[in-house]
Amino acid sequence: MREIILVYLDRSGGLQKFVHDCKKYNDSKQSYAVYRFIISINPSDIAELDATLGNYILHNPLQAAQIFQSVCFVAIKTLSLIEQLQTEAQISILLKPTHLPPLPSYVLSLSAYPFNYTSPRFYMSEGIVIAMGTVTKYTQGARFLCTEETCPFSEGFRCIRVHCPGATESATVRTDFVCSLCSSPLQEDMKFRVLGDKQIVEMIDAKILNALKGYSIDKSHFRIQAFTLFLR
């Protein structure tokens, strides 16, 4: 899969963009705990190269992002793109599909029953925005150090917490994390906290438009409820 990913990035121009993003990080005087990269992917093109990889990206995007993370880390180290980078955990990959297959199973509709959306994969949803919150900050990544000075994890970038889709803020930053090596408490190095923007949006299913026509020949009763999205 790693070879196919490298071939796809090279053919799609994603590798050139990745190198350009690395150059911006490398030229920056700021030190980062997490280096975040957004990679646009075309599921159809990837499926033509390798059907297994294409299916894996569509249905296991979090695990697929880890494979992209490994490929990007090797590329950075081989080409010396970011001198400050120390560990693979410092790389955060966000896969951004250009589209999804036009099939019902990829459409998220909260008006359909039953709600069989148990898989943490890509879905497409269409609705009407009825309310928007203000833009606030959230933690994309943080560096933690072991409080035991003799522990190898008391320095370097071995303990990195990165926000994952669907996770709460407390999953990334808390005060009760312990070292996986010596079980001592971990303390965040605030100088290396990486912040991003988030916005809460209230949406409602597009079928609400049918209820606004004034009358309906369908006399069955129905109920419309808004749902919340977190835009990060």
pLDDT of amino acid 114: 60
Distance (Å, rounded) from C-alpha 137 to C-alpha 125?
Answer: 25
- Does the pLDDT value for residue 214 go beyond 60? yes
The beta-carbon contacts of 19-25 under 8 Å, at least 24 apart in sequence, are: 19/79, 19/81, 22/76, 22/81, 22/82, 23/81, 25/82, 25/84
In the chain, ranges of CATH 3.30.1640 domains: 1-100
Q: Is 136 helix (H, G, I), strand (E, B) or coil?
A: strand
pLDDT of amino acid 169: 87
Average pLDDT over residues 113-139: 85
Least confident of 70-79, 198-207, 217-226: 217-226
Distance (Å, rounded) from C-alpha 136 to C-alpha 184?
Answer: 32
Nearest C-alpha neighbor of 45 from the set 15, 68, 12: 12
- Does the pLDDT value for residue 64 go beyond 70? yes
User: What is the DSSP code string of 177-213?
Assistant: -B-TTT-PBEEE-GGG-EEEEEEEEEEEETTHHHHTS
Residue 225 class from Cβ within 10 Å (0-12 exposed, 13-18 middle, 19+ buried)?
A: exposed
- Does the pLDDT value for residue 116 go beyond 80? no
Over residues 11-59, the pLDDT tens digits come to 999 999 999 999 999 998 888 889 999 999 999 999 999 999 999 999 9
pLDDT of amino acid 215: 57
pLDDT of amino acid 202: 95
- Answer yes or no: are the C-beta atoms of 84 and 192 closer than 8 Å: no
Least confident of 102-116, 124-138, 142-156: 102-116
Q: Which fold would CATH assign to domain 1-100?
A: mini-chromosome maintenance (MCM) complex, chain A, domain 1 (3.30.1640)
